[in-house]
Structure 1
């Protein structure tokens, strides 16, 4: 049952990303995007923007390298770096999932 729910949620996320103008799916070359990384990145987009260009007080991640994003997320996860929101988010991901998110947003540093 949980596997079916995950599959359904992933399908909904892909559909939403494909339909929204300026969405995460259209923000990068999707031929090179790991589908799982794209789905995981959707939760980041609500604060950091679909292309990592956040507005206001939220730090942008656009232009940051894959290694920078991965290191920051791992530091939030371990408690070496603190943020009320990011520390909680990072703890919800495996190291492999953090890598996929970092690879997804790291693509924008190469596509300026």
Structure 2
């Protein structure tokens, strides 16, 4: 191979590598978007179980003895759920329900309910 052909081959190889990297990046971004969408759906399904008592999207029925969760501070929600979970906050059923959630699930729920409108 001549020097000119070798140089041209190297240029094309470099371009091919760049295109490959770009395509891999786009695939990763698409996968991340899918993961984010799946995470949002998963969190909504967790929140749906809370709707039985706390209402749709955390908006309890007016006059209910069960508090609304919508719009509450994320850290407050996490603190309360962990207090139910470890038994430091008295409850009728929440101490049992909260034990079924991991810390990551509790955080996801707290973020979800904090973002809901009252």
Smaller-chain TM-score bracket = 0.5 to 0.7
Q: Which residue of 2 aligns with 1:8?
A: none
Q: Which residue of 2 aligns with 1:40?
A: 46
Extract unaligned runs of 5+ from structure 1.
Answer: 1-30
What per-residue deviation string (whole Å, max 9, x for no partner) do you get for residues 71-101 of structure 1?
Answer: 1101100111121111111001111111111
Is residue 85 of structure 1 aligned with residue 93 of structure 2? yes
**Equivalent pairs, count:** 79
Extract unaligned runs of 5+ from structure 2.
Answer: 1-36
Is residue 105 of structure 1 aligned with residue 113 of structure 2? yes
SS at match of 2:46: helix
CA distance in 2, matches of 1:106, 1:34: 14
SS at match of 2:98: helix
CA distance in 2, matches of 1:106, 1:63: 4
Q: Which residue of 1 aligns with 2:30?
A: none
Greater fraction helix:
2
Q: Which of structures 1 and 2 has the larger relative contact order (alpha carbons within 8 angstroms, sep 6+)?
A: 1
Question: Structure 1 residue runs of 4+, over 4 Å off?
Answer: none
Task: Identify which of 37, 62, 70 aligns with 2:70.
Answer: 62
- TM-score normalised per structure 1: 0.64
Larger Rg: 2
CA RMSD, Structure 1 to Structure 2 (Å): 1.7
